[in-house]
Structure 1
Amino acid sequence: MHPSPVPGTPDAPWRYWRPGDGAAVEVGTVRGRDVALPVHFHEEDQVTMVLLGVRRFVVAGVPVEVAAGQAVRIPAGVPHLSLPSPAGVVCTNLYLPPGTPRPPADIDAGWETVTRAAALAGLSREGYSRRFKRLHGMAPQRFRLLDRLNAARALLRQGEAIAAVAADTGFADQSHLGRCFRGTFGVTPGRYRAG
């Protein structure tokens, strides 16, 4: 029998740092019960190794459970969400340089408006949105937001000022970036930048 995981602090169950050795872009740890995050994706491959408990994901619409002593790889650009762990979990995420391509351009709304992307794909706006959600598990607008948040992560890793990052990635202000960033990645931009 494994000892019960120690819950994370209520305000910061997630911790991130950048090792600087070139092997991993960054390392994240999480411990506790409230480890749920909404649908998101990373520009890097994510390898999650569970030390205690069970980590539950939905990856590209498929439920995945990773028990203590196991690991899972989530390729770059693949939408996923993490679910709460009622018994608690302790795990480490490695974010590695990507080994898989981004979604095909005809369904990638990261750089286009939904109307423009639908026209390029030869679909109505509604048809395009339904196809995109079926393929990626999220609406095109959510994908675009996550793309901007991933761009913000990259700038924050480089040490850029939070207000400048918000402006550079299209957020109304630093507060708007902060709300979206914490809601998606479980940590504030300032804490993430500090690494």
Structure 2
Amino acid sequence: MFSTWPATGSSRSGPTRSTDCWSISCAGSETARIALAGIALARIALDGQALEGLEEPPVLSQRTNRHSRTTPMPNNLRYDYAGDSRLLEGADWIGRRPGGLQLHYHEEAQVSVIWNGHRDYRIGAHLLRLHPGQLLIIPRLRPHHALPSLQGEVRSAEFYLAPDALPAVTRQVLEAFDYLIADAPELLETAPCDVIAFIAARMAEDRLLAGWCGPSASHLTADGHLLEAVARHDRVCEAAAALGFSREGFIRIFSRSFGMTPHAYRINDRLNLGRRLLRDGETISDTAYAAGFSDQSHFGRTFLRLFGATPGQFQAAHTT
């Protein structure tokens, strides 16, 4: 079974409605569920400020979109495991979401795909809008989040790539950018069960990502010593002293460079450890302890704020 929404006008088997998503059978496919979904976004406030200076890629011309629907969608965020060795995780967004996720980063590269509507992101200091038929790659360790939305008819997917899913040269090229965007209108005509294969083929074919565009991440290279200090020292004041800063000065410089405080960065690192342990089948209580949280409830609340699902929901999607 391949979890997604049915294509309008498709000859494939019709949808079956469950309590939390639409499903469609994908004959002949051994791939067990890719996560596809949508968070919609209007021009709403980010931290109390309007979305000004939005970096908006050009809108593609209208094409047949086999992922379109005219019926109302449920509002849903769901992590799901695709059963594909090229993926570590996938996440479905369907419908509107009045609150966005907190700024966070992943240990793996993320590929975002928009099927319907549009979706706005904050990536570091950049605000951008993604349209249907466009691919967004967020390299590993780049702070980002999808912004809140009141728009209902949006479907998108987030794919978290396994380390060996990309050629080595492609991984090296990615590290030079904050993010990359490419037009891929063929996605709108691609059957859901073939989406991962399409993305993998597109990125393998264009190993140098020459047809993609995005801002340089040279500032991260210049400020790498800040991350090294945080990794080496348990306390922010110790990291600051190691580089000759006051505690306040170090927090200010780190936040300007990476979009989050050193404390938030370390919390995110511990939660990423939690994601790995949950995928490996560790219990939630053991995972919370290993990730340095004093209790399971604190771990669960923090996990939900950053990743949009509870640890139990996340683990269930990756162990079934």
Q: Same fold (TM over 0.5)?
A: yes
Deviation at 1:17, TM superposition (A): 2.3
Q: Say yes or no: does 1:64 pair with 2:186.
A: no
Secondary structure of the 2:117 match is strand
Secondary structure of the 1:170 match is coil
Indicate the residue corresponding to 1:107 in structure 2.
226
Deviation at 1:82, TM superposition (A): 1.3
Pairs within 5 Å for 1:114-125: 114-125=236-247
* In 2: Cα distance, 1:65 partner to 1:121 partner: 37
TM-score (norm 1): 0.90
- Is the 1:41–1:77 Cα contact (8 Å) retained in structure 2? yes
Structure label with greater radius of gyration: 2
Indicate the residue corresponding to 1:96 in structure 2.
161
Deviation at 1:32, TM superposition (A): 1.8
Instruction: Give aligned-pair identity as a percent.
Output: 38
Secondary structure of the 1:159 match is coil
Secondary structure of the 1:30 match is strand
Pairs within 5 Å for 1:171-182: 171-182=293-304
Q: Which amino acid aligns with 2:301?
A: R
Report how many residues are paired: 192
Distance change in 2, residues 1:96/1:68 (3 Å): same
* In 2: Cα distance, 1:162 partner to 1:188 partner: 10
Deviation at 1:60, TM superposition (A): 0.9
Alpha-carbon displacement from aligned partner over 1:155-188 (angstroms, at most 9, x marks no partner): 0010110000000000111111110001110100
Alpha-carbon displacement from aligned partner over 1:34-86 (angstroms, at most 9, x marks no partner): 16111100011111001111111110110011011112111110001211222
* In 1: Cα distance, 2:257 partner to 2:71 partner: 35
Q: In structure 2, list runs of 5 or more residues that go unmatched.
A: 1-61, 63-67, 164-170, 176-219
More strand by share: 1
Indicate the residue corresponding to 1:27 in structure 2.
90
Deviation at 1:4, TM superposition (A): 6.0
Q: In structure 1, list runs of 5 or more residues that go unmatched.
A: none
Q: Say yes or no: does 1:47 pair with 2:114.
A: no
Indicate the residue corresponding to 2:43 in structure 1.
none
TM-score (norm 2): 0.56
Deviation at 1:22, TM superposition (A): 1.7
Indicate the residue corresponding to 2:201 in structure 1.
none
- Is the 2:80–2:92 Cα contact (8 Å) retained in structure 1? no
Indicate the residue corresponding to 1:131 in structure 2.
253
Structure with more relative contact order (C-alpha pairs < 8 Å, separation 6 or more): 1
Deviation at 1:25, TM superposition (A): 1.0
